[in-house]
């Protein structure tokens, strides 16, 4: 079984976006919805609005970090959501 690394974007109930990185999107979404993630625990419910899958862990990590920059947020808003 091939591993994939996911970079995901959630829309929080306050209108803000949360970018994250995971190897298991299902368990990560459960963690968000079970109030186990500090940033989103008071912004529930959250909605998955984008998921990018990568075969390479470093590329996934780098993309997730990029989405947190100013130009990454602009790219997210124009191309991903």
CATH code for the domain in which residue 18 is found:
3.40.1440.10
Q: Which runs of E-coded beta strand occur in 1-81?
A: 5-11, 17-22, 47-54
Domain count, the chain: 1
**Token code pair at residue 3:** 């591993």
Q: What CA–CA distances, in Å, run from 5 to 16, 35, 64, 74?
A: 23, 22, 11, 23
DSSP string, 23-35: S-HHHHHHHHHTT
H or E element in which residue 66 lies: helix 57-66
Domain that holds residue 30: 5-80
Predicted TM-score of the model (pTM): 0.93
Q: For residue 2, what pLDDT is reported?
A: 62
For every one of its 81 residues, what pLDDT tens digit does the chain have, with 9 covering 90 and above?
467 999 999 999 999 999 999 999 999 999 999 999 999 999 999 999 999 999 999 999 999 999 999 999 999 999 999
């Amino acid at each position: 079984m091939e591993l994939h690394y996911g970079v995901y974007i959630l829309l929080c109930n306050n209108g803000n976006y949360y970018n994250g990185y995971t190897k298991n999107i299902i368990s990560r979404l459960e963690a968000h919805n079970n109030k186990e993630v500090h940033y989103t625990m008071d912004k529930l419910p959250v909605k998955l609005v984008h998921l990018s899958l990568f075969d390479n862990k470093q590329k996934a990590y780098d993309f997730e970090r990029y989405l947190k920059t100013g130009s990454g947020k602009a790219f997210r808003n124009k191309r991903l959501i």
